[in-house]
A and B are shown apart, each in its own frame.
Chain A
């Protein structure tokens, strides 16, 4: 473990190529072939699997490679992807955020309710509330030093409670005016691609730059690698942790609001289990749950992989959605086993 950790800050500070382009900066100099291969597998395993599944699906089903299906997959992936983006930062610091599913639903309801006062309110209200809950998470974790798992669990309950309270115990669904600019953020297309997809792409580019090139990004890796060492190096550990949980809350709130714009209503029952999907996507994308190592692009691949698998299961048709859960769970288990195994191999060398 210490091996993987000690290389992280150096990696993060490097002005090297973008995430995972060059596996040699992963493996120490003079690394053996096997070691390079396992490093490569850890970084690009998800991408290779995604390509294989996608190729298989396009051969197997005529309906897979159609514009409509791809567009549909892209838009429905966009919301989970934004949540996973925030989650990636949290997990790289060695934490976890179980509240994102509730915050996603809360963001959607607040966005739909706020849309009657204009697009600005529809976007800023979910961001403010979900960001604030994320901030409280961060404060409790960084300042009061409580376990992230428990704090965000409590936030998950509390956010769901707030959501129920503002919707008359879930009975009241707020609708978005279909002609409003806010609705167009979810529904319009730009160059044939849905606006949520563009927004997601922009956020991922911004997130990747932030993680790879900014001082904040260095701190995120350093805190996840070794908190004590990071503190000794002068990294603002508490502030970094507070920032990532706030960021995660903001992402979940934004994703929820955009989802409400897409559905033109704030649906109260959304988001259950989404934290698990997001964590699964991040882990499948190669980010280590122990912290200190990971990349944004991997999480995007993880989301797409989950969505493609869901799509394939839907295409098979005779299999109902329960199989999605079986396959996703089994898939997560396989990936984690592979990751642990690859990680151990590299550590031993």
Chain B
């Protein structure tokens, strides 16, 4: 929108970088789509789009919470462990019915988020360290609760994992609804504005009398609950609870999606649309490499290069 106003201005380097940062991720998605349409056999099928969308849903949901944390000039490393915890809790409480299990799993995520947020807001621990502690402890708790893989046989869960509405999988609908909700929260609510102000400058927000602690705690609680939801959905899709491996390296994928999508690590700015596109970009990149028989190792290296490029592009606009 501001870009439209600048239309008359000459296209100098700074503006080019800015455009690249704002819309580069969409361009990247478009390029990958075109490349795949041209080169990958059977890419343009409903079935394939369905698979890709279902795979991206949990990553996206985690990334939404991560975007809030990063927007507040923080980060949440515990999201992968929260997914593991939620899958363990889900399995343990499934006997009481899927809704009870779902609520307990989300409560588990909220408790970890509350612990993260309290360490950060009240004690003043750096987000990276606070969430690191909960990352280590969280997976431990998940494994104590459920030491090994367990099949999930529940009609409600399997319909959640594989069912659809008008041909669109539930997982995708839920992810889209959550993305809209988080986007709305960031743009239209007082909480969203306070969150961005805190991310921009915490001392200034404090001086302005914003409820810094309450907002920060809420940010990490929301991030925890979103990660728990992602854990539940991943469990429903896989039809199994695997606290050992579910969510490992998820924090990296989520951070990548957020950063590639144009949200600066320095806080004060959140791009939900970009985050969605970032998650899609990573998924497409992985799918493309795998479809063309390049081994997973290449995917990791490619992802690393994309991260560095995205952060490099963003750096010109780093705060102050």
Measured CB to CB, the residues of A under 8 A from B are 96, 140, 144-147, 149-151, 153-158, 160-165, 169, 272-273, 276, 279-280, 283, 289-290, 320, 322-330, 332-333, 336-337, 340-341, 344
* Closest beta carbon of chain B to A157's beta carbon, Å: 4
A-B contact count (CB 8 A): 137
Cα A157 to Cα B298 in complex, Å, equals 10
Structural contact, B311 and A165, CB atoms closer than 8 A:
no
Structural contact, B132 and A161, CB atoms closer than 8 A:
no
Structural contact, A329 and B137, CB atoms closer than 8 A:
yes
Structural contact, A329 and B136, CB atoms closer than 8 A:
yes
Q: Which of A162, A272, A330, A332 contacts B301 (CB 8 A)?
A: A162
Known A-B contacts A149-B75, A322-B144; the reply to A336 vs B297 at CB < 8 A is no
7 A-B residue pairings within 8 Å (CB atoms): A146-B312, A153-B307, A154-B308, A156-B252, A161-B297, A326-B144, A336-B123
Q: Which of A280, A320, A326 contacts B147 (CB 8 A)?
A: A320
Structural contact, B296 and A164, CB atoms closer than 8 A:
yes
Structural contact, A333 and B133, CB atoms closer than 8 A:
yes
Structural contact, B137 and A325, CB atoms closer than 8 A:
yes
Q: Which of A157, A164, A340 contacts B304 (CB 8 A)?
A: A157
Structural contact, A158 and B144, CB atoms closer than 8 A:
no
**Interface residue ranges of B289-314 to A (CB < 8 Å):** 295-301, 303-305, 307-308, 311-312
For B, the interface residue count at a CB cutoff of 8 angstroms equals 44
Give every chain A residue within 8 A of B298 (Cβ-Cβ): 161, 165
Give every chain A residue within 8 A of B305 (Cβ-Cβ): 154, 158
Structural contact, B130 and A333, CB atoms closer than 8 A:
yes
Structural contact, A341 and B147, CB atoms closer than 8 A:
no
Cα A280 to Cα B126 in complex, Å, equals 13
Cα A341 to Cα B119 in complex, Å, equals 11
Apart from A322-B140, A325-B136, A336-B119, 5 more pairs, CB < 8 Å? A157-B301, A157-B304, A169-B295, A169-B297, A337-B119
Give every chain B residue within 8 A of A158 (Cβ-Cβ): 300-301, 304-305
**Interface residue ranges of B261-320 to A (CB < 8 Å):** 265, 295-301, 303-305, 307-308, 311-312, 315, 318
Q: Check: B82 CB closer than 8 A to any chain A CB.
A: no
* Closest beta carbon of chain B to A152's beta carbon, Å: 10
Structural contact, B265 and A150, CB atoms closer than 8 A:
yes
Structural contact, A162 and B137, CB atoms closer than 8 A:
no
Structural contact, A322 and B136, CB atoms closer than 8 A:
no
* Closest beta carbon of chain B to A279's beta carbon, Å: 7
Give every chain A residue within 8 A of B140 (Cβ-Cβ): 322-329
Structural contact, A290 and B126, CB atoms closer than 8 A:
yes
Of A149, A158, A323, A341, most buried by chain B (CB within 10 Å of CB) is A158
Cα A194 to Cα B125 in complex, Å, equals 38
Measured CB to CB, the residues of B under 8 A from A are 75, 119, 123-126, 128-130, 132-144, 147, 248, 252, 255, 259, 265, 295-301, 303-305, 307-308, 311-312, 315, 318
Give every chain B residue within 8 A of A155 (Cβ-Cβ): 304
Structural contact, B136 and A328, CB atoms closer than 8 A:
yes
Cα A336 to Cα B122 in complex, Å, equals 13
Known A-B contacts A160-B300, A161-B301; the reply to A280 vs B132 at CB < 8 A is yes
* Closest beta carbon of chain B to A25's beta carbon, Å: 25
Across the interface, name the chain B residue whose C-beta is closest to A146.
B311
Give every chain B residue within 8 A of A273 (Cβ-Cβ): 136
Give every chain B residue within 8 A of A326 (Cβ-Cβ): 137, 140-141, 144
Cα A149 to Cα B147 in complex, Å, equals 31
Structural contact, B136 and A341, CB atoms closer than 8 A:
no
Structural contact, B300 and A157, CB atoms closer than 8 A:
yes
Give every chain B residue within 8 A of A344 (Cβ-Cβ): 124
Known A-B contacts A165-B295, A323-B144, A336-B130; the reply to A145 vs B123 at CB < 8 A is no
Of A140, A154, A163, A323, most buried by chain B (CB within 10 Å of CB) is A154
Across the interface, name the chain B residue whose C-beta is closest to A99.
B304
Across the interface, name the chain B residue whose C-beta is closest to A283.
B129
Cα A324 to Cα B141 in complex, Å, equals 10
Cα A170 to Cα B102 in complex, Å, equals 36
Give every chain A residue within 8 A of B123 (Cβ-Cβ): 336-337, 340-341
* Closest beta carbon of chain A to B134's beta carbon, Å: 7
Structural contact, B143 and A322, CB atoms closer than 8 A:
yes
Give every chain A residue within 8 A of B138 (Cβ-Cβ): 329
Cα A336 to Cα B119 in complex, Å, equals 9
* Closest beta carbon of chain A to B149's beta carbon, Å: 14
Of B147, B248, B300, B307, most buried by chain A (CB within 10 Å of CB) is B300
Give every chain B residue within 8 A of A283 (Cβ-Cβ): 129
Structural contact, A147 and B311, CB atoms closer than 8 A:
yes
Cα A327 to Cα B144 in complex, Å, equals 12
Cα A328 to Cα B318 in complex, Å, equals 35
Q: Which 6 A-B pairs have the closest CB atoms?
A: A329-B137, A325-B140, A161-B300, A164-B297, A322-B143, A329-B136
* Closest beta carbon of chain A to B303's beta carbon, Å: 5
Across the interface, name the chain A residue whose C-beta is closest to B75.
A149
Cα A83 to Cα B259 in complex, Å, equals 28
Structural contact, A157 and B134, CB atoms closer than 8 A:
no
Structural contact, B312 and A144, CB atoms closer than 8 A:
yes
Cα A147 to Cα B319 in complex, Å, equals 12
Of B139, B303, B307, B315, most buried by chain A (CB within 10 Å of CB) is B307
Q: Which of A140, A157, A164 contacts B295 (CB 8 A)?
A: A164
Q: Which of B125, B130, B147, B255 contacts A153 (CB 8 A)?
A: B255
Give every chain A residue within 8 A of B296 (Cβ-Cβ): 164, 169
Q: Which of A150, A276, A290 contacts B136 (CB 8 A)?
A: A276
* Closest beta carbon of chain B to A323's beta carbon, Å: 6
Structural contact, A340 and B124, CB atoms closer than 8 A:
yes
Across the interface, name the chain A residue whose C-beta is closest to B265.
A147
Structural contact, B304 and A154, CB atoms closer than 8 A:
yes
